[in-house]
């Protein structure tokens, strides 16, 4: 007998889950944009900071194949979903395809800047190889956990413009665009999971998603650190001093890891739903900032009257 069936009574009734669903007025917009096709990227494009540059470069290398994994994991369970969720899944897929294309282009610019990302790509391949033959529901649970990671990272990027203020314009626009859409579709994998596990007890659902999140978190942090260290090694930066700088970058200033700890922990709360924290205002803010920046770059320089 599944031990989850002997769950505490407060978790046992799947039909009585108190959760906030994705907002009824949410629209997933397909922003088909392209970045950095006509410019060469500096090696340390994050304001000359090798640590910040390594963080985003290492993260970007994971996206092309990672996004493809997310797409397939969600599509496996689209049958029988509501019309609304089915539409959101289609929009999710289109957004992720665009993200894949743009990060392929970004990663090509990273290589053109002098980095060898083959080892990082091999690590991604090894991680994805472990998903082959696994129950499809386990892959969906992994996708749901990683989508929570990307959503809370995206929230930080948009809520704190200082994270990207020293980046070159093309890279900054790419990461903000990606962050907007990660927030926008942050509930799709979760709602698909709720559909796929509708016959599970609430306790079993919580137990599986929590265990998977712990495993995903361990692997995510380990592989990102390894990837960053490899890129920094190629910059000639190694040793305890660099490790200390990495730790400070994560938990000190800008402290991305420190700032996402509490949002990460909400995932383990009974009745969690990504849209219990509605941060769509950040999408609107980033969208307006993006349009202003594009218009400013498009305006011809003013020539003083003689």
| Non-local CB neighbours of 281 within 8 Å, separated by 6+ positions | none
- Among 56-60, 130-134, 268-272, name the most confident range: 56-60
pLDDT for the residue 306: 40
pLDDT for the residue 296: 60
pLDDT for the residue 4: 41
Phi-psi region of 179 (alpha: psi -120 to 50; beta: other; left: phi over 0): alpha
Rounded to whole angstroms, the Cα distance separating 276 from 295 reads: 34
**For the chain, how many residues are written?**
306
Q: For residue 304, what is the DSSP state?
A: P
Per-residue pLDDT band at 241 (split at 50, 70, 90): very high
Q: For residue 46, what is the DSSP state?
A: B
Q: Residue range 246-272: average pLDDT? A: 95
Rounded to whole angstroms, the Cα distance separating 100 from 71 reads: 11
pLDDT for the residue 16: 35
Q: For residue 167, what is the DSSP state?
A: B
Tokens of 246: 């990495």
Q: Which residues of 33-42 are buried (b: 16+ CB within 10 A; e: fewer)?
A: eebbeeeebe
**Domains assigned to the chain:** 46-298 (1.20.1260)
Q: At what angle do helices 280-298 and 136-159 cross, to 10 degrees?
A: 60
pLDDT single digits (tens) 13-30: 333 333 357 898 999 999
Judged against a pLDDT cut of 90, whether residue 128 lies above it is answered with: yes
pLDDT single digits (tens) 134-184: 999 999 999 999 999 999 999 999 999 899 999 999 999 999 999 999 999
Per-residue pLDDT band at 293 (split at 50, 70, 90): low
Q: Residue range 183-202: average pLDDT? A: 97
**Residue 88: closest CA among 77, 104, 100:** 77
100, containing H or E segment: helix 83-112
pLDDT for the residue 170: 96
């Amino acid at each position: 007998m599944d031990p989850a069936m002997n769950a505490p009574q407060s978790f046992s009734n799947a039909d009585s889950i108190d959760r906030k669903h994705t907002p009824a007025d949410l629209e997933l917009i397909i922003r088909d944009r392209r970045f950095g096709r006509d410019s060469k990227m500096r090696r340390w494009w994050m304001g000359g900071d090798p640590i910040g540059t390594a963080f985003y470069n290492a993260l970007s290398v994971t996206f092309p194949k990672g996004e493809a994994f997310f797409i397939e994991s969600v599509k496996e369970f689209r049958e029988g979903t509501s019309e609304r969720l089915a539409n959101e899944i289609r929009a999710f897929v289109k957004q992720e395809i665009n993200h894949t294309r743009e990060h392929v282009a970004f990663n090509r610019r990273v290589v053109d800047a002098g980095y060898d990302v083959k080892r990082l790509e091999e690590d991604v391949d090894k991680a994805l190889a472990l998903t082959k033959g696994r129950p499809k529901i386990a892959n969906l649970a992994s996708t749901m956990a990683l989508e929570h990671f990307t959503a809370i990272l995206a929230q930080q990027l948009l809520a704190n413009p200082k994270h990207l203020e020293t980046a070159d314009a093309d890279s900054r626009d790419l990461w903000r665009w990606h962050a907007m859409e990660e927030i926008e579709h942050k509930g799709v994998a979760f709602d698909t999971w709720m559909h796929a596990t509708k016959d599970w007890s609430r306790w079993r659902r919580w137990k599986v998603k929590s265990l998977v999140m712990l495993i995903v978190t361990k692997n995510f942090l380990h592989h990102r650190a390894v990837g960053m260290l490899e890129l920094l090694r190629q910059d000639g930066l190694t040793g305890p001093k660099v490790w200390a700088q990495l730790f400070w970058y994560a938990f000190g200033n800008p402290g991305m890891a420190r700032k996402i700890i509490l949002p990460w922990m909400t995932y383990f709360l009974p009745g969690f739903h990504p849209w219990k924290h509605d941060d769509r205002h950040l999408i609107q803010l980033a969208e307006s900032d993006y349009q202003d920046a594009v218009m400013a770059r498009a305006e011809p320089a003013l020539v003083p009257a003689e």
